[in-house]
Amino acid sequence: GAVDSKHEQQKEVDGLGANIRGVVIVGVVMMLLMFAVHCTWVTSNAYSSPSIVLASYSNDGSRQILDDFREAYHWLSHNTANDARVMSWWDYGYQIAGMANRTTLVDNNTWNNSHIALVGKAMSSTEDDAYKIMLSLDVDYVLVIFGGVIGYSGDDINKFLWMVRIAEGEHPKDIRESDYFTDRGEFRVDAEGSPTLLNCLMYKLSYYRFGDLKLDYRSPSGYDRTRNVIIGNKNFDLTYLDEAYTTEHWLVRIYRVKKEDDFNRPRIPVAERKIKRSDAFVSKKTNRRRKGSIKNKPVVVKGKKNTVRT
């Protein structure tokens, strides 16, 4: 009887040890799996988060990718002349040159401070004065970054004071930083903003047609989500530039600079403003209108300039 009792006790000990080993093995495997998931998350969010592709999170926690930068550069590379010159702030110079293969006036190699100051002066001036600068620089397109629709804080309006300061350093008689502040020393884009700011080129290119845009039922038209205000100058038109392309989330806006010959051309009636279409068969599936793409691209004829309006 004593032998049987010891044998049963040994079985219980062996069974308990097997259970403990099983629990430990399962725990280690779970930890390894969780570690792999964590490493994947860290890699995708911390070590692989390029500034050219933005990510946002919706109310349900799902991640949404904002690919407006590549969308804009793709449009530039496929819808502008190979020798087109693009004016933008220097932050985006390398991206435009590398991804759109277009010439920029200034880029991240900031050794030429006087040239950067001239671009800053153009952005800080009225449209009339900026047009003279753009003609002297032979600018074909102007690109600005605008985050008022999605709440992106790194847009050109938030960087604008640096453009003013750099321009003032080279052109103190024409540009003064104090002109862009209110009497109380505030930088505002609403109705209380400085008239100099509300009528400069950067303001107009950022907020063109934005005053008619109603983002949701809770906010009025022209509500800037980045600065949380209603813009002060809604009703204005552009004289020397045409809107060429705006990305899906309005993050990148591209404008075509009119040439002097454009103002002498006869006005074409609306009924005759038709885009030539190819007779080749295109399936409905591939011809379906998609966000951020151009449907029925115009036929390019050598020796003639085609403008693309979106």
Q: What is the CATH number of the domain that holds 164?
A: 3.40.50.12610
255 lies in which domain range?
68-259
pLDDT for res 290: 39
pTM, two decimals, is 0.73
Q: What digits encode the pLDDT tens for the residues 261-281?
A: 877 655 556 555 454 444 444
172 vs 267 pLDDT, higher one: 172
245 closest CA partner among 234, 237, 254:
254
In a domain, 110, yes or no: yes
Q: How many CB atoms lie within 10 A of CB 9?
A: 10
Are the C-beta atoms of residues 89 and 106 closer than 8 Å to each other? yes
Total of domains in the chain: 1
Pick from 211, 223, 174: nearest CA to 196:
174
3-state secondary structure at position 235? coil
Q: What Rg value do the Cα atoms of the chain yield, rounded?
A: 29
18 within a domain of the structure (yes/no): no
DSSP 72-96: HHHHHHHHS-TT-EEE--GGGHHHI
**Edge-first strand listing for the sheet containing 241-246:** 103-104, 85-87, 141-145, 252-257, 241-246
How confident is residue 286, by pLDDT bands cut at 50, 70 and 90? very low
What are 37's two structure tokens? 């998931």
Tell me whether residue 27 is in a domain.
no
